[in-house]
Amino acid sequence: MNSTNPANPTETTAASLIAAAQKLSSGIGRMKFSPPVSHVYNPLEYAWAAHELYLRRFGNGPKRIVFLGMNPGPFGMAQCGIPFGEIDAVRDWMGIVAPIDQPAHGNPKRPVEGFACTRSEVSGRRLWGLFRERFGTAQAFFAEHFVANYCPLAFFDAGRNLTPDKLPAQETEPLYAACDEHLRELVAALKPEWVVGVGGFAQARAAIALQGTKTRIGKVLHPSPASPAANRDWAGAATRQMLEQGIWSQPL
């Protein structure tokens, strides 16, 4: 890790996020998962260069709102190390490009192509598309906002994506404990007023992990195409939810 100047709050915040992510990656990297899980990807290892750049560039000081996703999608963070990482949004809007290595045990049905991936991460396209439409530039969005994932691991049953809530309880208990601790460390560094779960799972985990703190918990509809409601103007629905909860103050 690069040395930082403790007097510089921007560098101190980013350094805290980087240390927390490295700690999380190390802890969960030793965990074992049983069938139906066939492969586990940890982008905080093989896509660390891009993730660290994301934290350094955009984890630069306190944020009012943190959006919290569930875990990496196969064509998003699993490819480029950025939460909800639709390649076009990461490369062209955020200006992040970095070398991507390969996971320790690659899934031939879900190859990691990095920034050469041409498949669209629909959830990421919708999420970052809303932020680009509302705020214009990445710098304007990240001035008060940040986006993170609760769990950094992607799970596969052969070619199928598995979400953490589909795993057996004896495996999720230590996983959730590590992810809860990381979320608390992230919140301690960024000091948000709101953590907004992108979907019910993330909202529920945030409420558990942050119980007893002053952080307010919100929720928006998950943008996954698997949700019929998300396929009917997700951006409009999410914006209305943000306004109704008082997290955003005005429509576009």
Q: How do residues 89-120 score in pLDDT, each as one tens digit?
A: 999 999 999 999 999 999 999 999 999 999 99
On average, the pLDDT of the chain sits at: 95
Q: Give the angle subtended at the CA of 209 by the CAs of 199 and 242, to the nearest 5°.
A: 35
Q: Which whole number is the average pLDDT over 20-28?
A: 97
Asked if residue 78 lies in contact with residue 112, where contact means CB atoms within 8 angstroms, the answer is yes
Work out the burial of residue 73: count CB atoms within 10 Å of its CB; fewer than 13 is exposed, 13-18 middle, 19 or more buried. Answer: buried
pTM, two decimal places: 0.95
Distance CA 189, CA 20 (A): 9
Strand order in the sheet with 216-220: 145-149, 65-69, 194-198, 216-220
> Which residues contact residue 208 at a Cβ distance below 8 angstroms, ignoring those fewer than 6 apart?
180
Distance CA 179, CA 152 (A): 8
Q: How do residues 41-81 score in pLDDT, each as one tens digit?
A: 999 999 999 999 999 999 999 999 999 999 999 999 999 99
* Residue 171 within a domain: yes
> Which residues contact residue 187 at a Cβ distance below 8 angstroms, ignoring those fewer than 6 apart?
66, 195, 210, 213, 215
Looking at the structure of the chain, the number of domains it has is 1
Work out the burial of residue 223: count CB atoms within 10 Å of its CB; fewer than 13 is exposed, 13-18 middle, 19 or more buried. Answer: buried
Of the candidates 187, 237, 241, the one whose C-alpha atom is nearest the C-alpha of residue 68 is: 187
* Residue 1 within a domain: no
* Residue 250 within a domain: no
Question: First and final CA of the chain: distance in angstroms?
Answer: 40
**pLDDT exceeds 60 at position 1:** no
pLDDT of residue 11: 76
Distance CA 49, CA 95 (A): 14
**pLDDT exceeds 70 at position 7:** no
What residue type is assigned to position 154 of the chain? Answer: A
Band (pLDDT 50/70/90 cuts) for residue 10 is: low
Question: Domain range holding 90?
Answer: 9-244
DSSP string, 201-213: HHHHHHHHHTTTS
- Pairing verdict, β 154-157 and 39-41: antiparallel
Distance CA 81, CA 86 (A): 10
* Residue 111 within a domain: yes
Q: Which whole number is the average pLDDT over 147-155?
A: 98
* Residue 98 within a domain: yes
Q: What is the CATH number of the domain that holds 59?
A: 3.40.470.10
pLDDT of residue 152: 98
What residue type is assigned to position 147 of the chain? Answer: V
* Residue 249 within a domain: no
* Residue 144 within a domain: yes
pLDDT of residue 250: 81
Band (pLDDT 50/70/90 cuts) for residue 159 is: confident
pLDDT of residue 3: 41
* Residue 223 within a domain: yes
- Pairing verdict, β 160-162 and 154-157: antiparallel
